[in-house]
Amino acid sequence: MKLPASRRGSKGGRARGKAAQRPGAQQPGAKKAPSAPRERGARTSPSNGVTPDELRELIEISRAVGKDPDLVQGGGGNTSVKTADGRHMYVKASGTALGEMDDRSGWALLDLAACRAVVTQPVAALPPAEREAEVLRLLQATVVRPSGARPSVEASLHAILGRVVIHTHPVGLNALLAARGSREAVRDVIGTAFGEPLYVPYVDPGYTLARRVDRDIEAYRKAYGRAPAVVLLENHGLFVADDGAARCLEISNAITDAGRVWIGGGRINPMDPPLVVASSAGAAPDQEEVVVRGALGKGGAAAGLVRRDDSEVAREFCGKQGSLELASKGAFTPDQIVYCRTRPLVLDGASESWPRKVAAYRAAEGLDPRVVLRPAGKKGGGISAVYYAAPDAPQLRVVAEVYRSALTALLHAPRAGGPRFLGREEAAFIEGWEVERFRAALLTGNSARLRGKIAFVTGAASGLGKGIARGLTEAGATVFALDINPQALETVRGEMPRGKYLPVPGDVTDEASVKAAFAAVASSAGGLDILVNAAGIAPAFPLVDFPVATWRKTLEINLTGYFLCAREAARLLLAQGTGGAIVNLTSKSGLEASKENSAYNATKAGEIHLMRGWALELGKAGIRVNCVAPGNVFKGSQIWNEEYIRACARKKGIRPEEVIPYYTSLSPLGREIEPEDIANAVIFLVSDEARNVTGQTLVVDGGQVMVR
C-alpha cells in the first residue's frame, strides 16, 4: 500500500525536480509542520538560562515521538540534532525517555568529529564484550556536557546521518521489518516520496550496525548522489534524517502512518493506559491471575506485579491456531529481549506444577520471566491468556507495550513471507550486552527494601495513612491507596513517586466497595503482599455527651473497616500462597485509655485484639499480623484538627496553642513524633527483617506508654 498523494508530495506520486533530490527540501503540496520559535545566536549552555536552538529542536522532536507508545516503548528510540557550525551534536542520553526530555536532562552534547571517528576505530576484531567496552569508552570520551552523561548507544550512527535524526520502533512498520519478505514488500508499503529507502539487513546494534550503515550510506551516495532520508533496519526500527526538524518529523510521521495502514490501522498501545483496572462492586478477582503470581514467587522469582493482557491484539493472537508454538520460538527485536526476555514462560498442566516450571525457566534463562503464556488446551495449540510480570506498574507498562509489538509482528508477518526471529547468536549478543543491561537497570531502579511488593493502605490520602504510603513507596513497594476522598487521592498521587501510588477510591465500611477495591488490586497487580489498616477517626466527647451516632460511626470505620479489609486481603494472600503481612494502625490509647475518648479507646483496643486473633489464624499460611501503636502524631493529621485540639485544650485546661507542646512533653524523649517514624515501624514489620514477628504491638510514642 503506497502513501496517499498528500504524503507522496508531487502530483501523480512521483517527486520531481530539485526539491525531490534534497532531503531537507519542502515537497510540493506537503504541509510544513510548525516548529518552535528560534532564538538566533543562542549558543550558551542551558545552565546559563538560554536554550540553544539545536537543543530546543531536539526537545521538540523527542517529545513529539516520545509521547506515543506505538513509536517508542520504554526507553527505546533516540534523536539527535547537529549544531550549525558542524562541530557538535545533541543526542538523547542512553536509558532516558524521549517524552520526558527537557533543557536540563535527557540529552548529551558530543564532539561530532570524535563521535564520527568511533565508527572507523580498528576494534572490529576484538571479542564482542571487549569491543563494546572499548566503543563505550570512546563514545563517553566524546561527551562535552553535561559531565557524566552517557550518549545513546546509536550516537555514532546518528553522527553519520543528516543534521536532524529521529530513530523510532514503530509497531506497524516493525511488524513488516520482522518478516522474511520485508525487503521486497517494504517499498510498496512506504513508497518513494522521500527518495529510495535504504534497507539494512539485521546486524548487532551499536558499533557493528554503525559500521554497516556507514558502508551502505557510501554506496547509496554513489548510486543516488545524496544520503538517504529513510533508513530501515531489519528487526529493529526506523531512522529518518533531514536538514530541518519539522521536515524530519513530517517524514517520520508519514512512514509510521504507512506502517499503521499495513497492519490495518488503529492503535496497538493506548496513549495513556490505566494503571488500575476498575472493578464492579462485588466482583471476584481473577483467581488464575493470583495463582500465576503465587507460582512465580514459589518458583523463586522476585516479587512484582502480574497482569493479564486484555488488549485487542492479545485477544486476537490468543485465538490464532498454533499461537503457542509461534510465540515460543524466540524474539524479533533487541527491545523484546531486554524487556520481555527472549522466550516467554509457558505454564501448562496443573497449577501445582507451576512453581517447578518457574524454577526451571529461571535456571535455563538466568532471569525472572516477564511474559507468561497459558495454553488453551491440547487442540489447536492456542493460548488462553497472556500475562505480564514486572517489579512495578511503569515497568509492567513497558513490558506490555513491547510484547504487543511482538504480537503484532506474529499476527501480520505471515503476509510478507512469515516471521523472522533473531538467531541464537544474535539474541545472545543482546542478552550479554552491557549497554542493554544498563538500559534495563535504569528502568528497574535500585534494589530497595520492599522492591516488587504490593501494598494496600487504607486512609492513604491524609495523615498517617498518607505518611505510611509514602514510606512504603520510597522503600520500593507499589501502594494501592484507598480513601473515601477521590480528589485528595489524586492530589497525593502527584506528590508520590511516579507509578508507585495508585488511587483506589472506596469506603472501608461498605462491604461491596471493599470487595471491588481488592478485585481492582487483583486484576491490576495479580495479588498482594501487604495490608495496612490506617483509616480511622477519633471523635472526642465526655461520656455523658457522646452521641450514639458518632459512637456507631467510629466502630464502623475503626473496627468494621479493619475487619472487611483484612478479610479480603486474607482471601487474596491465601489464594496466592506466598505469605504476607498485615499491620493494624492502633494507638497508645488502645493500651492506656485516654480521657473523654470512649469510642476511640474501645476501637483501638479492639484492633489489637483482632490482630492477635488473626495472627493465630493465619500464621500457618506464613501471613504475619502485627500492630503499630503511634503516640501523638500532629503533622498532617486529620485527627488532630482544630476542633479536636480545642477539645483537648478544654480537657486539660490549657490554651489551644499549648496543646501540641504539652502532649510532646509527656514522653521521656520529649520530641515530636513524625509520620516518617510510624512509616519506618510499618516498613520493619512488613519486611523480611521481621519474618518471625507476629501477634505483636510495636509502640512508637517516645516512651509515653511503657508497655510491660
From the CB of residue 122, how many other CB atoms can be counted at a distance below 10 Å? 6
SS3 percent helix, strand, coil of the chain, rounded to 5, is 45, 15, 40
- For every residue of 503-568, which 3-state class applies, written as one string? EEECCCCCHHHHHHHHHHHHHHHCCCCEEEECCCCCCCECHHHCCHHHHHHHHHHHHHHHHHHHHH
Q: What are phi and psi of 510, to 5 degrees?
A: -105, 115
Which of 664, 542, 643, 548 has the alpha carbon at shortest distance from 597?
542
CB of 257 closer than 8 Å to CB of 177: no
| CB 497, CB 520: distance < 8 Å | no
Kindly name the residue from 339, 361, 388, 600 that is annotated as catalytic: 600
**In the chain, what is the greatest distance between 2 CA atoms, to the nearest angstrom?**
98
Could you give the dihedral angle defined by the CA atoms of residues 18, 21, 26 and 30, in that order, rounded to the nearest 10 degrees? 110
DSSP 626: E
The rounded distance, in Å, linking the Cα atoms of 387 and 494 is 28
Using CB atoms within 10 Å of the CB of residue 665, give its burial: 0 to 12 exposed, 13 to 18 middle, 19+ buried. exposed
Q: Cell triple for residue 637?
A: 493529621
DSSP secondary structure of 554-606? HHIIIIIHHHHHHHHHHHHHHHHTS-EEEEEE--GGGTS--TTBHHHHHHHHH
Active site residue 600: yes
CA dist., res. 138 & res. 211, Å (int): 15
Four-CA torsion 315, 319, 323, 324, nearest 10 degrees: 80
Residue 607 contacts residue 586 (beta carbons within 8 Å): yes
Q: How far apart are CA 299 and CA 91, in angstroms?
A: 42
CB-side neighbour CA atoms (13 Å) of 437 = 10
What residue type is 464 in one-letter code?
L
Q: How many whole angstroms separate alpha carbon 564 and alpha carbon 570?
A: 10
State the catalytic residues: 600
